[in-house]
Structure 1
Amino acid sequence: MKKLLKKFRSVQTRHGFYSVGMIAVVIVIAVVVNLIVGQLPEKWKQVDVSNKNIYGVSKTSRKLLKNLGHKIKFTVYADKSTTDERIKTFLDRYTALTDQIGVEWINPVDHPQALQENKDAQSSSIVVSCEDTGKSVTVPFSDIIVQDYSSYYTSGSTSESEFDADGQLTSAINQVTTDVSKKLYYTTGHGETTLSTEMTDELEGSSVTTEELNLLMVKEMPADCDLLLIDAPSGDFSEQEKTMLLEYLSGGGKVIYVMGDAMSDTPNLDAVMDQYGMTKTKGYIADTQRNYQGNYYYIFPEISASGDLGDGLENNMVLLVNSAGFTVKEDLGDTLTVDEVMTTSPDGYVVTENEQTQGEYTLAAVAEEGEAKLTVIASESMINSQITDYFSNLDNKRLFVNMVLNNFDDVENLSIDPKSLSVEMNTVQHAGSISTALIFGVPAVVLIGGFVIWMKRRKA
């Protein structure tokens, strides 16, 4: 017994007890901290370390969620255990920002009758519903994690291209909670360009629906036309259509005219512009100062977008290709105002086969007279999908949507760009002496240093 007591009183034993005690304290602290953290809101617990911040919730969404005045329900028709972790993580982060959203998971395999009872439901989707308004919108998982099918016919495989949970859910909430709905008609019959599906989806997300309209087939403008879009016609309007257009504007109508080819002959459309203080120039617009990599016809206009027109612009960079142009009259009268939104630099040129005329030219403007509003954009490339997809960091789409919604006082731009899921490879461009040192030198130094320290301790 005395020997046993002596061992407990030894320095080694006391050090051992101290170590055990400290380990116990650390464990208790860790358990308490985890219990406390477990009670924190989800938005404080999770840190987004994903590539390209795919779990980040935009300012637009945060504003909408902060001002939600209705209870919203997310019904997820999927097996939670097998659902993509990215979707589950984003749902947790998104719904943690408000107490107005409830989430329910229903496995369609275990409860097949749930799909039959809800006509809007489908497997692998989120049904966003609002009991107060009685509206619901279905968001398929395939619209959240978007697949790129461009290589399917050559390789037989697809790849993930975008993560659009933020935009899809915010758009759905807006659609089920708002009573505001606007109708945009786009003209046909003159070789117009058709809005891309992506663009119409963005407009619908802000409660703007679209429908085609042939003015020669109607006696008057539809009563529910909140905005008329003339998108890059290759031919001119007839006299009858010009008269109908001017009557619509004089009655307080709203029109967006996207100009077609700069060399096309459109005297009737030019006359409408002229009546609202804008004169079309004959020729393509070039800019020797603000251009893309020395190509004078690929222009980065100077942007003067204030208020709602400038809302959400990331870098004030818009690319126009082979653009037409116009000038604004100096004498506009007392009732007409024309605000220039995009212009060339003073080193702009109007170029034809025979001459080049230097000057500062207008590439987009908004004319207002009373309730009437005519917005003119000089190039269809503003919303051409080949431009907007390739230069996704530019503000082309955002500014165009702003121009559309600028015609309405009670509609907010809820356009949110999806996050790219494309793989970015980190490669060594020049494997020189620095690369060799990092790959071989640093590990060698660590090993040699460790061996030297070990030898010294061994001899001590």
Structure 2
Amino acid sequence: NIALSFLPDSYVQEDLTANQLYSISSQSKVMLSSLEEDITIYWVVASGEEDEYVEKLLHNYEDYSSRVTVEKKDPDLNPDFTNNYTDETIYNNSVIVECGDKYRYISYQDMYETSSMSYYSMYSSADEFAGESLITSAISYCTTEELPVIHILEGHGETELTESFQEALERDNLETETLSLLNSETVPEEVSCILVNAPSTDISETERDMLLDFMERGGRVLIISGTAEEEQLPNLKSVMENYGISVLEGVVVEENTDNYVYGNPVLLMPEMNSSDITDPLMEDNYQVVVPVSKALDVSEASEDVTVTSLLESSEESFLKDEGYDIETYEQEEGDVQGPLTLAALVTKDLEDDQQMQLVWIASSMMLEEAYNAYSSDANEDFILNVLEMMCEKDDSISVRSKSLTNEYLTISTADSSMIKVATMGMIPGIYLITGIVVAVRRRKR
């Protein structure tokens, strides 16, 4: 026992929690193994107020890497300690990660995430522990000299990024700045990646030409633009058409029940094709949900570009050109037959080892919080993967929060129907047949 007391906790204690709440994941271990600078984690907590999950998690960080030191700071004994780091209200079990002159404060309140979900949308409350996600992100932030910047185009009624996605960008150590081209002659030299998020009005021809010139200089652009209620955005579409790809207006309707969710044939659960963007999701069996999407025709792409269809509907799907005025989900004459591309990556190799990258996601609502919840955050992860690729963020560390209660599965309408049949029909039927057999045998006796 005396000998064991000198061993790190990770060697003598087993994490028996269902979701490995205070263990550190393989992603965190890879980052910790590559540390070249010393990290200090200040654990701000009064004596007797220690959170078990936080305590064991911090000990595991310290045990895994000799570069990490955890120091406990009692706010009752050191009331002014946190003043140099934050002016926020300090809660017990909050954490400060520091490396050199960089630091990040993590509030204890942010470590526990509560999702309030509607009964009518078939969800219940789900609490998550985000301790590892936040601490690993903070270590990555403190040890990264210059963070990538995503420039968000404005001036065309673009949809604001959700609070959830902004937090995801921060955790992923991607900074954001707004960008207006309305009074510019060219895209500024310091810009490397542009996000165009669901504009409601079209860009000008001048802005279109600036975007095309930017990409021909090795720029990267992500466009999220789906079925339009009013304006069709011809100049924005011509950005894609410049590379031989047509943006098809309308709404994709799915007839294969394996490829849509909640009984709604325009809430698509598409097939994902292999790529650096989709592979991490496919490996972990996550599914994106693409609501109210138009389509992309990649069949006539220019010879000097490489096109990857990232998301596709099934062969049983079709495109109805009425858009929001759709009156029936039945296939009619003139509807474009699937499979249909819902998101595509276009790349073009340039001189000096530069590469143009353009991604178009044909649904304006993919980042909305409800649909992201339907996908168990896979929608956010998909778009984060796009931005990480565009920023050449090879050292990206993405650690999911860990559920404290139940985990929810995104299942297709077909699977949902099978479960209903099994629970409402087959299982009761088995009990009924068993009862009849038992009753008959007893009578024969």
TM-score calculated relative to the size of structure 2: 0.79
- For residue 162 of structure 1, the aligned residue among 128, 132, 145 is 128
- Separation in structure 2 between the aligned mates of residue 403 and residue 118 of structure 1, nearest angstrom: 33
1:295 aligns with 2:295: no
Within 5 Å, give how 1:173-322 maps onto structure 2: 173-262=139-228, 264-289=231-256, 290-307=259-276, 309-311=278-280, 313=282, 314-322=284-292
SS in 2 for 1:215: coil
Rg (Cα) greater in structure: 1
Alpha-carbon distance, 1:202 to partner: 2.2
Is the CA contact (8 Å cut-off) linking 1:341 and 1:364 kept in structure 2?
A: yes
The one-character-per-residue Cα deviations of 1:393-434 (angstroms, maximum 9, x if unpaired) are x6222221111111133443322221233579xxxx999xx9
Instruction: Return the match for 1:374 from 348, 358, 364.
Output: 358
* Alpha carbons of structure 1 residues 180 and 148: separation in structure 2 relative to 1, 3 Å: same
CA-to-partner distance for each residue in 1:136-158, whole Å, 9 max, x for gaps?
1111111112356899xxxxxxx
Q: How do 1:20-419 residues align onto structure 2 when only pairs under 5 Å count?
A: 34-118=1-85, 123-124=90-91, 125-131=94-100, 134-147=101-114, 161-262=127-228, 264-289=231-256, 290-307=259-276, 309-311=278-280, 313=282, 314-330=284-300, 332-333=302-303, 335-353=304-322, 355-369=334-348, 370=350, 371-392=355-376, 395-419=378-402
Q: Which moved more, 1:141-150 or 1:355-364?
A: 141-150
Instruction: Measure the CA separation in 2 of the matches of 1:359 and 1:390.
Output: 24
Q: Is the 8 A contact 1:402 1:413 kept in 2?
A: no
Answer whether contact 2:61 2:68 (CA < 8 A) is retained.
Answer: no
Q: Percent identity?
A: 28
CA deviation after TM superposition for structure 1 residue 294, in Å: 4.1
Query: Does the 8 Å contact 2:22/2:54 carry over to 1?
Result: no
Q: Secondary structure at the match of 1:53?
A: coil
Question: CA offsets per residue over residues 64-95 of structure 1, 9 Å max, x none?
Answer: 11221211000122214212222112212233
Superposed CA RMSD in Å reads: 2.7
Q: How has the CA–CA distance of structure 1 residues 206 and 183 changed in structure 2, closer, same or farther, with 3 Å as cutoff?
A: same
1:345 CA displacement: 1.6
In structure 2, list runs of 5 or more residues that go unmatched.
Answer: 119-124, 323-331, 408-423, 432-445
Give aligned pairs, total. Answer: 384
What is the DSSP-based 3-state SS (H/G/I as helix, E as strand, rest coil) of the residue aligned with 1:383? Answer: coil
* Offset at residue 214 of structure 1 (A): 2.5
Runs of 4+ in 1 over 4 A off after TM superposition: 117-122, 147-151
CA distance in 2, matches of 1:411, 1:195: 24
**In structure 1, C-alpha distance between the alignment counterparts of 2:406 and 2:222, rounded to whole Å:** 38
Map Cα deviations across residues 32-83 of structure 1 (whole Å, 9 max, x no partner): xx33432332112222222433223222112111221211000122214212
Asked if the contact 1:80/1:105 (under 8 Å) is kept, the reply is no
Residue 302 of structure 1 and its aligned partner are, at CA, apart by 1.1
Greater percentage in helix: 1
Cα gap change, 1:216 to 1:117, in 2 (>3 Å):
closer
Q: Deviations over 1:207-234 (max 9, x none)?
A: 3201222221434323321210011112
Q: TM-score of the superposition, structure 1-length normalised?
A: 0.77
Structure 2 distance, partners of 1:150, 1:387, is 12
Name the residue aligned to 2:420.
none
